[in-house]
């Protein structure tokens, strides 16, 4: 048995254990053992602001993705199979395009001379271009678009498992469609809601390209903090400490979520 799983264990050791171990080592060793990098992370304002902004944007992206993704998943579940496949194909279609290309596309759309500002000025709804990009707004809009499939697919998978008989039973007992939805369908779809929210929130915590382009240097999320510590200040220890704290936060989120739903379901294995 050990011989069969040895190749897999070696791959895990080489691709996961060693890199994470080296990351942790760099964060605590600089000419000897030190916790200075972690002291900076937990005491300096720039780190606190960056972590707070990252969590705020991740939470906003998750809530908006849920509000947009739930009706799409519900529609895909309610439609006949052919139409359902078409809706899901439209949701998955952005996966075939690079994240970088999609971020630049949003940059073109939202900039001061972009399509949206020009349209609003043409309709005489605004007199001056709106600041839609190089701020948190542009970052949230583009990130929601990129991460929306990660919300829709777990929701759809959960809704597919809800028996139609329950909805018909509710209707036969005199319940209105809205009452049946809120009392029967919505509670049964909550595992999909939790799985989708967890996936979107965790992915957003580590987003880099989109906030870098759409934030214009003003929306400094944690991933950008890691990048700047390495590229601008050549401080690998500080960057490693930030990355370790972020990783610990993600693991803590998964631990809390696992108390309510199987992680296999969150990761799409069931």
pLDDT digits (tens, 9 = 90+) for 31-90: 888 898 899 889 989 899 999 999 999 999 999 999 999 999 999 999 988 899 899 888
**Per-residue model confidence (pLDDT) at position 32:** 84
Which residue from 114, 138, 116, 131 is spatially nearest to 60, judged by alpha carbons?
138
Distance CA 58, CA 197 (A): 10
Query: Could you give the CA distance from residue 22 to residue 46 in angstroms, rounded to a whole number?
Result: 25
Rounded to 5 degrees, what are φ and ψ at 44?
-85, 140
Predicted local distance difference test score (pLDDT) of residue 259? 82
> Which pLDDT score is estimated for 266?
61
Give the three-state DSSP class for 206: coil
Question: CB atoms < 10 A from the CB of 164, how many?
Answer: 9
**CA nearest 76: which of 240, 178, 192?**
192
Model confidence over 181-224: pLDDT tens digits?
Answer: 888 889 999 989 998 999 999 999 988 888 888 887 777 888 88
Closest to 162 measured CA to CA, from 137, 136, 198, 193? 193
Residue 3 pLDDT? 74
Which pTM does this prediction carry?
Answer: 0.87
In the structure, what pLDDT confidence band is assigned to residue 270 with cuts at 50, 70 and 90? low
Could you give the CA distance from residue 243 to residue 255 in angstroms, rounded to a whole number?
18
């Amino acid at each position: 048995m050990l011989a069969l799983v040895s190749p897999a264990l070696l791959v895990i050791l080489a691709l996961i254990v060693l890199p994470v171990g080296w990351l942790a080592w760099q964060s605590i060793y600089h000419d000897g053992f030190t916790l200075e990098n972690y002291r900076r992370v937990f005491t300096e304002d720039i780190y606190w602001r960056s972590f707070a902004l990252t969590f705020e944007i991740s939470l906003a992206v998750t809530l908006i993705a849920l509000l947009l993704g739930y009706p799409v998943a519900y529609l895909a579940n309610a439609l006949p199979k052919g139409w359902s496949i078409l809706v899901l194909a439209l949701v998955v279609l952005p996966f075939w395009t690079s994240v970088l290309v999609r971020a630049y596309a949003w940059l073109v759309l939202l900039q001061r001379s972009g399509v949206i500002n020009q349209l609003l000025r043409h309709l005489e709804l605004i007199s001056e271009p709106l600041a839609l990009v190089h701020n948190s707004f542009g970052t949230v809009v583009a990130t929601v678009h990129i991460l929306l499939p990660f919300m829709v697919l777990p929701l759809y998978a959960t809704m597919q498992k809800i028996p139609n008989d329950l909805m018909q039973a509710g209707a036969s007992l005199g319940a209105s469609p809205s009452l049946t939805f809120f009392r029967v369908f919505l509670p049964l779809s909550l595992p999909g809601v939790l799985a989708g929210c967890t996936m979107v929130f965790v992915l957003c915590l580590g987003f880099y390209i989109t906030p870098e382009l759409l934030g214009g240097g003003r929306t400094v999320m944690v991933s950008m903090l890691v990048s700047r510590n390495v590229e601008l200040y050549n401080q690998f220890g500080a960057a490693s400490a930030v990355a370790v704290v972020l990783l610990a936060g993600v693991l803590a989120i998964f631990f809390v979520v696992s108390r309510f739903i199987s992680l296999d379901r969150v990761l799409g294995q069931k």
